[in-house]
Amino acid sequence: MARIAVVLFNLGGPDSPEAVRPFLFNLFNDPAIIEGPSLTRWVLARLISWRRAPIAREIYGHLGGRSPLLEQTEGQARALEKALSERGHDARCLIAMRYWKPLTREAVKAAKAWNPDQVVLLPLYPQFSGTTSGSSLNQWTVEAEKAGLTAQTHTVCCYATEVGLITALAERTLGGLEQVRESTVGLPAPRVLFSAHGLPRKVVDAGDPYQSHVEATVNAVVAAMAVEGLDYQVCYQSRVGPLEWIGPSTEDEIAKAGREGRPLVVVPVAFVSEHSETLVELDIEYGELAEERGVPKYVRVPTVREHPAFIGGLAGLVERAMRSDGRPCSHLNRRVCEGRWGRCLHLSSRKAEAQSRGGDTK
């Protein structure tokens, strides 16, 4: 039986108040986050992490001074190992966090020590962006080459409309709707806000497919829910800095619902685990905003975490990736982005292959 190392990629988070500033430095020193010369980026990362550390410590103070992301990712890893074992695979799930421990190099070291026959790279970002999945996968390539890890490697690039993910999100959302409806009789029908982490507009304009993937996920969830006349809106949270970001913003949509006296069900559509953006930003900060703006009822739907359908979907992705031809593999085994998204990882892989052959990508 082949030994399979499945590497789960996520952002990571500080494990103590003292770790907040170095975590932020690692984040802003990533060329996928701040483009430009390495020295300029290093200086900016030092400055931004120094300025933002006090605010971030206050945020993590609501969570006991540390991020819960690693613990929850470990739970997903164990659940996925169990699902793969039940499907007849000898698999070990490893965790590679991009900006805090366990870092990618640690996951590479663990994978090499286990000596797998195959490696499957599985970002816990259903919707692809170069700032998340792309950055994590690039870092894996660098560290794997340094360590001399030569096992056959397969890559899952995106799974925005994978059936297990959509089933889990639809069930969570329907549960939130039922909770609101039971306590808002006589009020306007609730609105569902599908909230995703935002991106600067210039990133999307440069060809990043993330926004289109988020919209595809929402469309699939709404179809799976099959609620006639559902009132819903895609929106984006976590805006920082002076750049223009994709919208509409979650804050603006909460204010709009308040003006209309409309109850809200808020669904974190791009996060698969709980962390500061859900437990603090959505629950506390936006919950307070909703109360201030007169939203009569505010319910935040839990992330999919270890939902059986989601974990089953991940197991299917692992199996599908191992049957792929070595190129990055979506849940459809082909490129799912429209042609205009030039930063699609699947397309980038084809370009690299063509360049190595001296040809084109047609």
Per the annotation, binding residues for Fe(2+) are 197, 277
Give the pair of three-digit tokens for residue 190: 């609730």
Q: Rounded to the nearest 5 degrees, what angle is found at the Cα of 30, between the Cα atoms of 25 and 35?
A: 120
State how far the Cα of 128 lies from the Cα of 358, in Å rounded to an integer: 28
User: Which of 122, 164, 113, 173 shows the shortest CA–CA distance to 8?
Assistant: 122
State how far the Cα of 282 lies from the Cα of 289, in Å rounded to an integer: 10
State how far the Cα of 33 lies from the Cα of 134, in Å rounded to an integer: 11
What amino acid is encoded at 265 in this protein?
Answer: V
Residue 14: alpha-carbon gap to chain centroid = 17
Distances (CA, A) of 148 to 112, 275, 332: 8, 34, 31
State how far the Cα of 42 lies from the Cα of 283, in Å rounded to an integer: 33
Check: CB of residue 165 under 8 Å from CB of residue 155: no
Q: Diameter of the chain by CA atoms?
A: 67
State how far the Cα of 182 lies from the Cα of 260, in Å rounded to an integer: 19
State how far the Cα of 250 lies from the Cα of 239, in Å rounded to an integer: 10
Q: Walk across the sheet containing 152-158 and list its strands.
A: 90-97, 3-10, 118-123, 152-158, 329-330
Phi, psi dihedral angles at 238 (to 5 degrees): 70, 30
Distances (CA, A) of 1 to 23, 81, 89, 116, 172: 39, 15, 7, 11, 37
State how far the Cα of 192 lies from the Cα of 231, in Å rounded to an integer: 6
Count of other CB atoms within 10 angstroms of residue 133:
27
Binding-site annotation: residue ranges:
197, 277
State how far the Cα of 207 lies from the Cα of 210, in Å rounded to an integer: 9
